[in-house]
Amino acid sequence: GQQVMQIPQYQHVQEGEDFTTYCNSSTTLSNIQWYKQRPGGHPVFLIQLVKSGEVKKQKRLTFQFGEAKKNSSLHITATQTTDVGTYFCAPRGSGYSTLTFGKGTMLLVSP
């Protein structure tokens, strides 16, 4: 089956610092989605990447899909306390019908 590794598992930053989480797959992907889960909440969809090398931005968030479509990253510029939560990547492999979720990166932001 598809193996997904997400790193780091946890990161604690000061407000204003940047943050990056990485997602690596053992197989070539058809697409990848990213979700955010606030403490005590449920996952909320952020974005989907489909094309090789694709880069998408949402305000301070930048999402990248690797050229080989095996990895992806989420970068947050100048973190804010509202960014606190766990960020999950959810790749979809070629030929697979369901998403596989990474274990997530928990982000803590201190004011």
Partner 1 sequence: DGGITQSPKYLFRKEGQNVTLSCEQNLNHDAMYWYRQDPGQGLRLIYYSQIVNDFQKGDIAEGYSVSREKKESFPLTVTSAQKNPTAFYLCASSPQRNTGELFFGEGSRLTVL
Given candidates 39, 59, 98, 111, which one binds partner 1 under the rule CB under 8 A?
98
Span interacting with partner 1, options 11-19, 54-62, 77-85, 94-102, rule CB under 8 A = 94-102
Query: Is position 88 an interface residue for partner 1 (rule: CB under 8 A)?
Result: yes
Residue among 7 and 77 whose Cβ is closer to partner 1: 7
Total residues contacting partner 1 (rule CB under 8 A)? 21
DSSP letters, 1-44, are: ---EEEE-SEEEEETT--EEEEEEESS-EEEEEEEEE-TTS--E
**7 touches 71 (CB < 8 A):** no
Structure tokens at 73: 């990253």
Per-residue string for binding with partner 1, 35-64, x by CB under 8 A?
Answer: x-----xxxxx--x----------------
* Residue 82 DSSP class: G
Question: Using CA atoms, how far apart are residues 82 and 71, in angstroms rounded to an integer?
Answer: 26
> Which residues sit at the interface with partner 1, rule CB under 8 A?
1, 6, 9, 33, 35, 41-45, 48, 88, 90, 97-104
